[in-house]
A and B are shown apart, each in its own frame.
Chain A
Amino acid sequence: MNTDFDAIVVGSGITGGWAAKELTEKGLKVLMVERGRHIEHGTDYVTEMKAPWEMPFRGEGDPQLFEKDFAVQSKNRHFTEYTQNHFVNDRENPYSVADGTQFNWWRSYQLGGRSLTWGRQSYRMSDHDFGANKKDGHGVDWPIRYADLKPWYDHVEKFIGVSGQNEGLSSLPDGIYQPPMALNVLEKHAKGVIEAQWPDRRLTIGRTANLTQDKEGRSACQNRMLCPRGCSYGAYFSTQSSTLPAAQATGNLTLITDTVVETVDYDAKAKRARGVSVLNVKTGERRRYTARIIFMNAGAFNSNHVLLRSRSEAFPNGLGNSSGRLGTHIMDHASTVGAIALFDTFQDRTTYGNRPTGVIIPRFRNLGDQPEADFVRGYSFQGGALRSTWTRGKREAGIGEAFKDNLRHVGPWRMVLVSFAESLPRETNRLRLDPVKVDPFGAPLLQIDFTHGENERKALTDAGKEASAMLTAAGGKVILSLNQPGIGGSAIHEMGGAMMGYDPRTSVTNRWNQLHDVPNVFVTDGAAMASSACQNPSLTYMAMTARACDTAVTMLKQGRI
Chain B
Amino acid sequence: MPNIDSPPTASRRHLLRAGLALAGAALTPAQVWAQVAQATPPRIFPRTQQMLDRVCDLTIPDTQTPGAVKAGVPAFVVMALDHGLSGTGRPPSHDQFPGGRPPPEANWLVWLEFELDRRVGGVFSSAKPAAQAKALADLDAAAYAKGGEKSPWRTLKGLIVTGYYTSEIGGSQELFFELVPGRFDPDVPVGPNDRAWSNDWTAVDFG
Contact = CB atoms under 8 A, between A and B. Distances in A.
Given A351-B186, A389-B204, 12 more contacts: A52-B166, A349-B190, A350-B188, A351-B184, A351-B188, A353-B184, A354-B201, A354-B202, A397-B145, A399-B137, A400-B133, A404-B63
A49 interface: yes
B136 interface: yes
Contacts of A53: 166-168, 171
Interface in A307-351: 347-351
A446 interface: no
A64 B79 CA distance: 12
Given A64-B83, A386-B202, A397-B141, A404 B196 contact: no
Given A391-B203, A400-B59, A414-B207, A222 B180 contact: yes
Given A407-B165, A409-B196, A349 B187 contact: yes
A52 B198 CA distance: 10
Contacts of B175: 389-390, 407-408
Nearest to A397: B144
A507 B148 CA distance: 56
A62 B83 contact: yes
Interface string A52-80: 11000111101110010000000001000
Interface in B118-173: 133, 136-137, 140-141, 143-145, 154, 157-158, 161-163, 165-168, 170-172
- Category for how many chain B residues contact A: 35 or more
A416 interface: yes
A224 B179 contact: yes
A403 B133 CA distance: 13
A53 B202 CA distance: 19
Nearest to A59: B166
A249 interface: no
A187 B187 CA distance: 10
B2 interface: no
A192 interface: no
Contacts of A410: 190, 194, 196-197
B202 A384 contact: yes
A355 interface: yes
Contact of A224 (B133, B162, B181): B181
A426 interface: no
Contact of A399 (B140, B168, B174): B140
B202 A353 contact: no
Interface in B60-112: 60-61, 63, 67, 76, 79-80, 83-86, 89
Contacts of B167: 52-53, 58
Contact of A404 (B83, B171, B174): B174
16 contacts: A53-B171, A57-B80, A64-B83, A223-B183, A225-B201, A347-B190, A351-B187, A354-B202, A386-B206, A390-B175, A390-B198, A393-B157, A401-B61, A404-B61, A407-B196, A410-B197
